Structure 1
Amino acid sequence: MFEAFISYSRKDKTFVQKLYTALTQQDRKVWVDWEDIPLTADWRQEIYDGIDAANNFIFILSPDSIASTVCREELERAINSKRLVPIVYRDVPANEVHPALTKLNWIFFRETDDFDRSLHSLVTVLDTDLEHVKAHTRLLTRSIEWDHKGQEASLLLRGNDLKSAEAWLTHGEDKLPAPVPLQRMYVGQSRQAETARQRKLLLGVTTGAVISTMLAIAAGIGWYEANQQRIAAVQQTLRAESESARLLSSNGQGFDALMNSLKAGIQLKQASWRDQNQSLETLVVSALQESVYGVREKNRLVGHSGIVYGVRFSPDGQTIASANGDHTIKLWNLDGSLRQTLKGHTGEVYQTEFSPDGQTIASASADRTVKLWNLDGTLRQTLHGHTNPVYTVAFSPDKQILASAGADGTIKLWKPAGELLQTLVGPSNVNPRVEQNKPMNSHHGSPTLESLRGVRYLSFSPNGQILAAASGNTIQLWSRAGKLLKTIRGYNRPVLSVNFSPNGKTLVAASEDGTVQFWTLGGTSLIKQFEGNIVHQVKFSPDGQTVASAGGDTLVKLWNPDGTLLQTLQGHQNGVYEVSFSPDGQTIASASADGSIRIWQRNGISLQTLQGHQGDVYGTVFSPDGRTIASVGADKVVRLWQRNGTPIKILKGHTDLIHGVAFSPDGQTIATASWDSTAKLWSRNGTLLKTLKGHVGRVFGIVFSPDGKIVVTSSGDGTIKMWNRNGKLLKTLRGHTDVVHNVSFSPDGQFMVSASHDKTVRLWSRDGRMIKVLEGHTNWIHAVAFSPDGQTIASASHDRTLRLWKVDGTLLHILEGHTDKVLGVTFSPDGQTIASSGADQTVRLWRTDGKQIAILRGHGDDIHGINFSPDGKTLASASNDNTVILWNLENLNDLAGLLTKSCNWLQGYLRNNPDVATDDRTLCKGIW
């Protein structure tokens, strides 16, 4: 293991030698490649092994290093798995530096800088979070070895090694370098293997206990002891399975978590001793609960014997077609049952495409042909003409043209009947010699497509007038008639896919350079999102509100079109090559080098996602009748939704982001608080009634008194202002010494409580007198709420805790569990549950005695405002991922209800997946 790997240009070798000497003199073990040798495969792997074995990655910034392809490859290898340490030896333009380095603090080692002082700064960085970084490297090394050796079971973690790794994953989320998907996968697989091993041991112990019990009965002695031994063994396994499920949930392995917790839950339900072990029941139910709310993966389709390169939904959404390295195409039903296998190609099949009417399937293959199939699986026609592997096919929306392209650098346009209309060759296309059946890279390998300058992908615009091609290192736009309209450049590696937005105005492209980029049709770059690993595919959802990407890092990621990450879908065991949206946009299928297709649901089992905001969402609230939801955020508008998520209306008027929102008690007025220093009152139909002006800073919070006569605002100017419904300022409350973030009224309207960045909670009378200051938090207080009975105050702080106080200021409980800033808090209508939200991307539910009862995962970024529906059955949360999530809280602690939800979700998988164990097929018998 090395303390650092140094990446540099050979022109900076003299400086690097000096730096290397200085570090080794301090007993620092450093990996440096001193040889200027040919870039062979063995050399590259040696370099990658050096990077993997180092705790830190030092990049020497100079004009030559940022222009070096080799340095860039080394950097891309390190980005997601190493702590990056940029060192400036020679000044470079910041806009030419890799995005992964520009956001970090640079250490300056220029000739004009003090070398010793800079060296001290470097050593300090290397020593920061040293144990975390060392553990990261150790676990990465072991997980890579496991992966390179075909995921050999004997290399999995066990015992204390496994426990240490799980603890590291749990506590390493907010540290750099962050855990990478391969590490999560390795630990998750280790836990599953350990749980399976414990189950086998349980079976042995149980069988032995049964025999012992029978012998004991026969002998008339020892029956009780034998039975207790059996019960203890069962309980130990349930405890292990539940803990495993919670760790899998927290690390994004929702499907496996649900399977584990479902098994434990069913066994608990059947246990005669269930009522005698309340703590174990709570643990099992809690793990099942967390799994139910966290899972997005619905099914796994397995049956191919090679890499799955492509996956497509039929236009009616009832059929899934997959393209595979085993030379076949498979057609699947939505429940995961295999409908048919299409055979005929003699090479790997890279892509399939349904015709717009759904009656024809086109396939592109390494055997240099395109084949057309009927929906019943019969081969209709084979199209010859390409001289190298065919990578991609696309139908025009009117079905009058079929386009195909591949490694020969040409695009061919065909009539539906198979007649060749035209062959298009762009100026940058070449005709390389391509090795057929060449394996494509996975998440752990180096890119292998760099020599392919053919056409990787085709897509038609929604109106069918433009054909976009991912051609070499460019995007080419062609007219339907075959005229080259535009060549978009800006890539130093091949573009692997390009797709149009549903309105036809925007392109989104994926590249070997690890980026997701958005372009105008004129070639202007709109957004460039760097992923640090090859991105194979990126597509818009049918409504244009979401973008899905498939990467070599095993992940499927969902984005807003503004580049905000919505969600990361984990589960694949190797690189993901393609994603496909169902026609309604609610289901996503992904194809992977692990040989599987995975089916994901946008809304999970017990939640619904509301999309529409074009930026962070800060607040959301239910109307008093529970029929309407209002949400506000960085896009300066108020969005009104029906309870079922249907958009109603957008209210415009503020000139800066809106941070707070509230309904009046009669539900007829909506109040908003904005960073434009104003608050506004709106009628429920969207008419602007009043603008409240008076604050000299941003307005963060707003609330109505329970009788609806007073509106209270809180501001960055450190004050709280009280207004009547006509907009007249009644009183200004002073006392806080920093931003006042939030105010809440007591249910009887006689008191107010406020939360501030000055780390205090303050209690006020209705007439504005400050009654008490509650102190104890060690960082900003972001939110505060009264319980429905008015006897308890809850406060949420950046110190990662919630505190519960009596009204007289007595501290009742400190609620610990969030791993980052706590940003929101609210009580359920019956006062029995407290909900909190945080920058750790979780919503947590607590009992009033401070006991955590649930963790809800689903957002992809910080979660701000949260609010219960009046009936307490739904919780709404607002997030920086631009969405509001509605969480269905029915059956929250009901084992039977949770088991029913789980079994319904897994029904297709348990019945149709051939890898399901025989015993597990009947797991839900009696529940369905």
Structure 2
Amino acid sequence: GGPVSAVDFSPDGKTVASAGGDDHNIRLWDAATLTPLLVLHGHSDDILDIEYSPNGAHIVSAAEDETVKIWDAVSGMLISTLEGHTSGVNCAVFTHDGRRVVSGSDDHSIKIWDVEIGACLSTLTMHRDCVLSIAVSPDGLWMTSSSKDLNAVLVLDVARGGVRHAFTGHIRSVSTVAHNRDGTRIVSGSWDGTLRLWDNAVLVLDVARGGVRHAFTGHIRSVSTVAHNRDGTRIVSGSWDGTLRLWDVAKRGFWGHSGYIRCIAFSLNGRRISTGSDDMTVIVWDVATGTSLVTFKEHNTPVWSVTFSPSGDHLVSGGVDCRVLVRNLEGGELLQFEGHADTVGLVAFTPDGEVIISSSDDTTMRLWDTKMEACLLVLDPMMWHRTIQLSPDGSGIIMSGGKRAVQLW
């Protein structure tokens, strides 16, 4: 009797390992028939975590008896007992080459063990409370950890033992962490009842910052466990509220900006999106895949307005640097229009794509000829700035009140 505390599939999906109950044993089951195969005896207290090695040959277990044990997954024989923690061990995972085991304990430490010789190689002591969860990157160079002392996910350098980055955003302790297969995304579950998906791609490139991709809300009690599917498109979470939830990662948004997104525009054919951000970049996205096609970094201040030309081959943007920038998306030179004395808040193309209209906080509107690369007209009505709307036939600019203010030829 007693609750099941941990389960794991073998890499080939044919066997399930489970731990729990009052007998402190691990049980192996045939995944197709649920027929019991083996019982692994050895722990003297509750088993809190189990995991198969990447090749399926071994199983590692962590328990309240302060030990980590490595088992032969075929015969069920105990291979080694890893001793060194001074309190219960909450989690233990293999590195992706199967040569190391990493464990986290109530003694506030993380230990890295050599599987072959059964020795502790290093001990990490950056946490000040119980270590609750650990996940090791695919290349084995870094890992993520969570503990009771922080409402954060720590990214740790395995070789040096230092903290690369701390992802913050949860409002209670982070109870579980996991990676997708290439390590570019981290998912965390917290006692605050939420999951958060973090963008870790920049950390793989040794850049100092990462960002949250999405916060998944729905559980009404603490999230106790999370996992990615193999292609990283789904996340499954389990909670103390008694529910299991499956989340769609692929449809949760387009990630790439590191600052507030000020503006967004569709191309007329609906295949591309452009965004401008406080991170001073303009990104063009593929609507179908959600991938960024190109990132422009010519602005040196936040970008407040973007729009595509009617043909979709040009993109214009305006921002706090007072400039209007036009890019040829098929390749070509960048056009820079200067003249405004304050933030360019809105930009638009005429239907033929040859004239750009910009509106600025300097209370002026300007018309720019893209072929002549010159300003055609400056309008200075105090109440017109921040308003640009072309008439339906493209022959004029309609201002507040519906009156045609400027006739275009």
For 2:78, the aligned partner's letter is L
Q: Which amino acid letter does the alignment assign opposite residue 589 of structure 1? A: V
Pair 1:463–1:411, CA change in 2 (3 A): same
Q: Which amino acid aligns with 1:461?
A: T
SS at match of 1:775: coil
Q: Counterparts of 1:84-99 in structure 2 under 5 Å?
A: none
**In the alignment, which of 27, 39, 46 is matched to residue 371 of structure 1?**
27
Deviation at 1:463? 2.0
- Shift in Å at residue 570 of structure 1? 2.1
Which one has a bigger Cα radius of gyration? Answer: 1
Aligned to 1:547: 186
| Corresponding residue of 1:746 | 350
Deviations 1:121-152 (A, max 9, x none): xxxxxxxxxxxxxxxxxxxxxxxxxxxxxxxx
C-alpha deviation, 1:388, in angstroms? 0.9
Q: Partners of 2:123 and 2:199 in 1: how far apart?
A: 26
Aligned to 1:559: 198
Q: Counterpart of 1:364 in structure 2: which amino acid? A: A
Q: Secondary structure at the match of 2:357?
A: strand
1:361 and 2:361 aligned: no
Aligned counterparts of 1:769 and 1:406: Cα–Cα separation in 2:
76
The Cα of 1:564 is off from its aligned counterpart by 2.0
Please state whether the residue corresponding to 1:364 is helix, strand or coil: strand
Q: In structure 2, which of residues 34, 39, 46 is the aligned counterpart of residue 389 of structure 1?
A: 46
Which residue, 439, 457, 463 being the options, matches 2:97? 463
Supply the distance in 2 between the matched residues of 1:457 and 1:515 (Cα, whole angstroms). 17
What secondary structure does 1:533 align onto? coil
Is structure 2 residue 165 aligned with structure 1 residue 527? yes
Residue identity matched to 1:422: S
Q: Which amino acid aligns with 2:98?
A: G
Distance, in Å, in 1 between the alignment partners of 2:350 and 2:70 is: 70
Deviation at 1:573, TM superposition (A): 2.2
- Seen in structure 2, the aligned counterparts of structure 1 residues 723 and 475 have a Cα distance that, compared at 3 Å, is closer
Asked if the contact 2:58–2:71 (Cα under 8 Å) also holds between the matched residues in 1, the reply is yes
Shift in Å, 1:751: 5.3
Matches within 5 A, 1:300-315: none
* One-letter identity of the residue aligned with 1:524: G
The letter of the residue matching 1:500 is: V
Mapped to 2, the partners of 1:567 and 1:501 lie a distance apart of 20
1:645 is displaced (CA, Å) by 0.7
Is this contact kept in 2: 1:366–1:391, CA < 8 A?
A: no
CA deviation after TM superposition for structure 1 residue 386, in Å: 0.8
* Corresponding residue to 2:154 among 510, 517, 521: 517
| 1:762 matched to 2:365 | yes
Q: Matched residue of 1:539: which SS?
A: strand
1:773 counterpart residue number: 381
- Which of 237, 244, 250 matches 1:597? 244
TM-score normalised by structure 2 residue count:
0.78
The yes-or-no answer on 1:404 pairing with 2:80 is no
How many residues matched?
A: 381
Unaligned runs of at least 5 residues, structure 1: 1-345, 431-452, 652-657, 659-671, 677-696, 796-802, 810-928
How far apart in 1 are the matches of 2:144 and 2:135?
A: 5
Structure with the bigger RCO (C-alpha within 8 Å, sep 6+) is 1
Q: Which residue of 1 aligns with 2:289?
A: 645
Secondary structure in structure 2 of the residue aligned to 1:404: strand
Q: Is the 8 A contact 1:762 1:774 kept in 2?
A: no
Using the alignment, how far apart are the partners of 1:356 and 1:746 within structure 2? Answer: 58
Deviations 1:100-121 (A, max 9, x none): xxxxxxxxxxxxxxxxxxxxxx
Q: Secondary structure at the match of 2:103?
A: strand
Q: Which amino acid aligns with 1:546?
A: R
Query: Is residue 675–residue 700 contact of structure 1 (8 Å, CA) maintained in 2?
Result: no
Code of the residue aligned with 1:362 in structure 2: it is A
Aligned partners of 1:352 and 1:763: how far apart in 2? Answer: 65
Quickly say closer, same or farther: Cα 1:408–1:743, change in 2 above 3 A: same
- Give % identity: 28
Deviation digits for residues 833-872 of structure 1 (CA, Å, limit 9, x no counterpart):
xxxxxxxxxxxxxxxxxxxxxxxxxxxxxxxxxxxxxxxx
Contact 1:510 1:537 in 2 (8 A): yes
CA contact (8 A) 2:274 2:306 kept: no
Provide the residue aligned with 1:857 in structure 2.
none
**CA offsets 1:575-619 (integer angstroms, 9 cap, x no match):** 11111222232222211112221222224xxx56445x3734857
Q: Which amino acid aligns with 2:29?
A: W
Match of 1:661 in 2: none
Matched with 1:579 is 226
**Cα distance between partner residues in 2 of 1:424 and 1:469:** 10
1:501 is aligned to 2:157: no
- C-alpha separation in 2, matches of 1:707 and 1:362: 58
User: Which of residues 392, 400, 421 in structure 1 aligns to 2:79?
Assistant: 421
Distance 1:629 1:543, change over 3 A: farther
Q: TM-score, normalised by structure 1?
A: 0.37
Q: CA deviation at 1:389?
A: 0.5
Q: Secondary structure at the match of 1:361?
A: strand
